[in-house]
């Protein structure tokens, strides 16, 4: 299998598993990220505004929901590429759960120290009513992403040896 396609399928699978996790949380009444707000942030970023007091109060941008989902999946694919660059191409043939989990947990740095501050929630959600709860939710979600990286790599390797 083409290496780029292999990496893309791993990232896609991991992102889908993460989305299933978020869907499950939402069904249980646990608030999750609205990806339209990610699109809004990216739309404003393209116009030169990086940080917001509260992204939900920022003016909407055209097609923000589609943009947010596109960015979400693009980041998932990019993270898979970074994992393979970090571990080496051999990881695709012999995926390691420890590397995938460590990497998945490490990706939680992005929401905690980039997205949340830029969207007005502060570093590690400190400006929200429940910072610890929000941090733990981000950590759990990105751990699920790490599990998804591993499971996707295993399924792809077994399906296309």
Asked if residue 1 has pLDDT above 80, the reply is: no
Residue 161's pLDDT is what? 76
CA distance 103 to 30: 25
For 118, the domain range is 3-159
Segments in the chain forming alpha helices (H): 3-27, 35-46, 64-87, 90-93, 97-106, 109-110, 116-118, 131-159
Q: Locate tokens 């733990």: which residue?
A: 136
Q: Per-residue pLDDT for 49 more than 80?
A: yes
Q: What is the dihedral of CA 114, 115, 119, 120, to 10 degrees?
A: -50
- pTM equals 0.95
Residue-wise pLDDT for 92-112, tens only, equals 999 999 999 999 999 999 999
Cα atoms in the 13 Å half-sphere on the side-chain side of 40:
17
C-alpha 112/C-alpha 121 separation (Å) is 9
Question: Is residue 92 within 8 Å of residue 84, measured between CB atoms?
Answer: yes
| Mean pLDDT (whole number) for 69-84 | 98
b (16+ CB within 10 A) / e for 62-76: eebeebbbebbbebb
**Mean pLDDT of the region 71-86:** 98
Q: How many domains does the chain have?
A: 1
What count of Cα atoms within 13 Å lies in the side-chain half-sphere of residue 109? 6
45 — pLDDT class (breaks 50, 70, 90): very high
* C-alpha angle 82-88-89 in degrees, rounded to nearest 5: 100
Q: For position 33, what pLDDT does the model report?
A: 92
């Amino acid at each position: 299998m083409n290496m780029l396609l292999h990496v893309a399928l791993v990232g896609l699978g991991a992102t889908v598993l993460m989305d299933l996790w978020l869907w499950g949380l939402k069904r249980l009444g646990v608030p999750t990220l609205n990806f339209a707000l990610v699109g809004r942030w990216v739309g404003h970023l393209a116009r030169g505004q990086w940080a917001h007091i509260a992204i939900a109060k920022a003016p909407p941008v055209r097609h923000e929901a589609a943009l947010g989902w596109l960015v979400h999946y693009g980041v998932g694919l990019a993270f898979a590429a970074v994992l393979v660059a970090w571990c080496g191409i051999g990881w695709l043939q012999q995926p390691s759960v420890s590397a995938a989990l460590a990497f998945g947990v490490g990706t939680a740095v992005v929401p905690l120290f980039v997205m949340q501050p830029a969207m007005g929630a502060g570093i590690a959600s400190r400006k929200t009513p429940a910072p610890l709860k929000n941090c733990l939710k981000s950590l759990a979600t990105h751990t699920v992403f790490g599990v998804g990286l591993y499971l996707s790599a295993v399924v792809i390797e077994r399906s296309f040896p």
